C-alpha cells in the first residue's frame, strides 16, 4: 500500500506545486508598475551618470528628471477611483532629497517672485487617498514653471476633466511633460528662473489614455481606446479651453523625441497616435 500511495503522490506532486504557486501569485500590479505600465518614454534609468534622464519612481508617480533644466522631462502616473479620497491639500512644497547626493535641489522658494506658478505634473487632487500620497505631489521634482493662467485655468480644467472621467467609471494613464525654452508669466517673458538653474519651458503637453475601470494592461488598449493629447503654449495669454489645444501623440513625439505608449502593440500605437481626439471636454 505504501508503494501505491507514494506513486500516486509522485504523479500528483507537480499539480499540487502548480496550484500552490498559482495561489501564492499576486497578479495585481503595484502602483509603481502601473505608473509605467504603458512604457518608459525616454528609457530613463536610476543611473546618476545620466543626469538629464534620471528615473525616479514612487507609488504616486514615475518621472524622468533633467538636472540641467531643473524640471522633469516627463511624469507618468495611473489614476483610478481608489486614488481619489478626502485627504486635504498639503501645500508642503519642498526639495526632493531622493535626488543623488551633490545635485542641486530646487526648493519651495526657487519660483518666488518669478511670475510663474509651481505647476504640478501629477496634480495634488489626483492623490487624495491619503495625506502621504498628497504630500508626495508637492516635491519640487514634480513641478515646472507654468504661466499662472495656464496652470490655474486651462490645465486645471483638463485635470478636473480627467477626474470626472474616473468618477464616471474609467481609469487613466497620464503622461505630462514640457519642451522648449521660454515662456511668459505674469511678469513677462523669461527663459529661466532661480538664477538660471530652472528652465522655463515653451510648451506643456499631456497624454491621457482612457480605459474602463478594471482594465489596466497595455493589452487592454485597442484601436478604439480614447487617447487625449494636448499641447499648449506656456503663455499667460493662453486660451481657457484646453480642447482647442488637442493634437496627436505623433506630433508630440516629433517635438520631444520621446517614444510614448511604447508598451502598446505597434499596430494599435500607429492608429491611436495619429488620431486627434474629438470627444467631450467636460
Residues assigned a catalytic role: 120
Looking at the chain, which runs of residues are DSSP E strands? 54-58, 61-66, 71-79, 117-120, 143-146, 170-179, 183-185, 188-190, 192-193, 198-199, 203-212, 226-233
Grid-cell match 522648449, residue found: 180
- Residue 210, SS3 per DSSP: strand
CB atoms within 10 A of CB 93: 19
The string of DSSP codes covering 236-255 is TT--S-GGGGB--HHHHHHH
Grid-cell match 505608473, residue found: 35
Which triple of cell numbers denotes residue 79? 489614476
Largest CA distance in the chain: 91
Grid-cell match 493589452, residue found: 219
Task: Check: CB of residue 62 under 8 Å from CB of residue 55.
Answer: yes
Rg (CA), the chain: 22
Task: Check: CB of residue 68 under 8 Å from CB of residue 108.
Answer: no
CA atoms within 13 A on the CB side of 130: 5
Q: How far apart are CA 51 and CA 100, in angstroms?
A: 9
Amino acid at each position: 500500500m505504501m508503494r501505491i500511495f507514494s506513486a500516486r503522490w509522485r504523479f500528483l506532486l507537480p499539480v499540487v506545486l502548480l496550484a500552490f504557486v498559482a495561489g501564492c501569485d499576486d497578479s495585481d500590479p503595484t502602483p509603481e508598475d502601473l505608473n509605467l505600465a504603458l512604457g518608459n518614454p525616454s528609457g530613463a534609468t536610476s543611473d546618476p551618470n545620466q543626469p538629464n534622464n534620471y528615473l525616479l519612481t514612487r507609488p504616486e508617480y514615475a518621472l524622468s528628471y533633467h538636472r540641467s533644466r531643473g524640471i522633469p522631462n516627463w511624469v507618468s502616473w495611473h489614476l483610478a477611483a481608489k486614488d481619489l479620497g478626502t485627504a486635504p491639500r498639503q501645500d508642503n512644497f519642498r526639495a526632493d532629497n531622493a535626488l543623488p547626493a551633490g545635485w542641486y535641489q530646487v526648493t519651495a522658494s526657487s519660483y518666488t517672485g518669478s511670475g510663474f506658478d509651481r505647476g504640478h505634473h501629477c496634480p495634488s487632487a489626483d492623490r487624495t487617498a491619503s495625506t502621504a500620497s498628497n504630500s508626495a505631489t508637492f516635491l519640487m521634482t514634480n513641478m515646472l514653471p507654468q504661466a499662472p493662467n495656464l496652470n490655474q485655468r486651462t490645465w486645471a480644467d483638463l485635470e478636473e476633466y480627467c477626474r470626472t472621467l474616473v468618477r464616471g467609471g474609467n481609469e487613466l494613464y497620464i503622461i505630462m511633460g514640457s519642451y522648449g525654452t521660454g515662456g511668459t508669466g505674469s511678469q513677462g517673458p523669461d527663459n529661466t528662473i532661480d538664477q538660471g538653474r530652472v528652465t522655463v519651458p515653451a510648451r506643456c503637453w499631456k497624454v491621457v489614455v482612457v480605459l474602463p475601470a478594471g482594465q489596466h494592461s497595455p493589452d487592454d488598449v485597442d484601436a478604439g481606446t480614447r487617447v487625449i493629447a494636448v499641447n499648449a503654449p506656456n503663455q499667460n495669454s493662453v486660451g481657457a479651453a484646453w480642447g482647442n489645444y488637442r493634437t496627436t501623440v505623433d506630433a508630440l513625439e516629433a517635438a520631444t523625441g520621446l517614444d510614448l505608449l511604447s508598451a502598446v502593440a505597434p499596430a494599435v500605437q500607429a492608429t491611436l497616435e495619429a488620431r486627434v481626439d474629438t470627444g467631450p471636454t467636460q
